[in-house]
Amino acid sequence: MFATLLGPLPRPELPDDAPAEAILDAILGLQLEHGLEPLTDGGWTGAATGARPGADPFGAWRTASARSEGLVKAVVVGPYTTESDGTAERRTILELAGAGCRWIEIHEPGAVAIGADRDGRARFADLHGSLTEGLADVHLSLAITGGSADAAGIDTILAGAYASLALDLIDGPDNWRLAVATPGDRGIIAGVMAGRPDTDDGPEVLLWAAGYASSTGGRGVARVGLATSGSLAELPWDVAATKIRRLGEAAALAVATPDERLDAMDPRAVDIRSAATGRYERRPPRS
């Protein structure tokens, strides 16, 4: 079980004149501190030049990789969302793979608008089939945030050669249907950490999502990750940092012992007797 980001982070609490390197180090450090991996630059690699997030996927990956020993993923906005023919995106993916990038996330928020549009489905499938053809030794992940793409159908969404599917399950709860329909040999990255303040970020909800994703198609925990549901960029840094900590804790608890999970959670969430009585008494181990 692992945890990762599916969107940018806010600016760290650093002086206004802090160099871009310090901002990036704080972004990477927060993720590493709480066990997130693969890492991202949080949308801040271009801070020094004023470049918009996602404008230079290769440069963002190369810069972040040089400043961290952890696995850093590249994030490429997909051709359906950018309304391109996929040529530039394919070139970027090949460049990343050739430079040693081992995890490339294709971000397609535009997929939530496909619905039952037959032409839209065909275009999405054709673009992603061409985009991912013939690539080896790299983990390709398709990420859909900002709503549900369930109406497009799993055959459309997974027309490309993707090893994992990352889904926003907060703004797009119907994406659970896509998770269930995804073959068990593909990974599911469950975007269940909301990007809004004052949400329930306790381990109970996150672990339920991890368990459900693991159970679908005989997938198992090794092919499941937990993630933010999208951007945290509009939150104060301390609020975003707390969410990242809780996300990392939940990923660790997902593979912890039953007693460790009980100690960290409301026992009524995992023990039927506690739920019925409103109190929990640990049962002695069987002899």
Q: Give the pLDDT score at 267.
A: 63
Q: Give the pLDDT score at 284.
A: 54
Q: Give the pLDDT score at 177.
A: 98
Q: Give the pLDDT score at 71.
A: 97
Give the predicted TM-score (pTM) of the model.
0.90
Domain 2-12+20-255, classified CATH 3.20.20.210, yes or no: yes
Q: Give the pLDDT score at 33.
A: 97
Q: What span, in angstroms and rounded, lies between the C-alpha atoms of 243 and 50?
A: 27
Q: DSSP E strands: which ranges in the chain?
A: 2-4, 74-77, 103-107, 139-144, 164-168, 187-193, 224-228
Q: Give the pLDDT score at 102.
A: 97
Beta bridge partners of 3: 226
Q: Binning pLDDT at 50, 70 and 90, where does residue 276 land?
A: very low
In whole numbers, what is the pLDDT of the chain averaged over residues?
Answer: 90
Q: Binning pLDDT at 50, 70 and 90, where does residue 275 land?
A: very low
Q: Give the pLDDT score at 263.
A: 72
Contact assessment for residue 106 and residue 78, using Cβ atoms and an 8 Å cutoff: yes
Contact assessment for residue 199 and residue 222, using Cβ atoms and an 8 Å cutoff: no
Contacts of 266 (CB under 8 A, 6+ apart): 202, 204
Contacts of 90 (CB under 8 A, 6+ apart): 130, 131
For 59-80, what is the mean pLDDT? Answer: 95
> Is the per-residue pLDDT at 159 higher than 60?
yes
In the chain, % of residues over pLDDT 70: 87
For 1-9, what is the mean pLDDT? Answer: 96
Range name among 31-35, 42-46, 207-211, 224-228 with the lowest pLDDT average: 42-46
> Is the per-residue pLDDT at 264 higher than 80?
no
Distances (CA, A) of 271 to 35, 51, 240, 257: 28, 50, 31, 15
> Is the per-residue pLDDT at 224 higher than 50?
yes
Q: Binning pLDDT at 50, 70 and 90, where does residue 273 land?
A: very low
Q: Binning pLDDT at 50, 70 and 90, where does residue 112 land?
A: very high
Contacts of 24 (CB under 8 A, 6+ apart): 41, 42, 44, 45, 47, 63, 64, 67
Q: Binning pLDDT at 50, 70 and 90, where does residue 242 land?
A: very high
Q: What span, in angstroms and rounded, lies between the C-alpha atoms of 166 and 114?
A: 17
Q: What span, in angstroms and rounded, lies between the C-alpha atoms of 247 and 120?
A: 34
> Is the per-residue pLDDT at 52 higher than 70?
no
Three-state secondary-structure class, residue 236: coil
Q: What span, in angstroms and rounded, lies between the C-alpha atoms of 189 and 1?
A: 10
For 20-43, what is the mean pLDDT? Answer: 96
Q: Helix H segments across 197-265?
A: 203-215, 237-253, 258-264
Q: What is the pLDDT of residues 73-96, one digit of tens each?
A: 999 999 999 999 999 999 999 999
Q: What is the pLDDT of residues 171-188, one digit of tens each?
A: 999 999 999 999 999 999
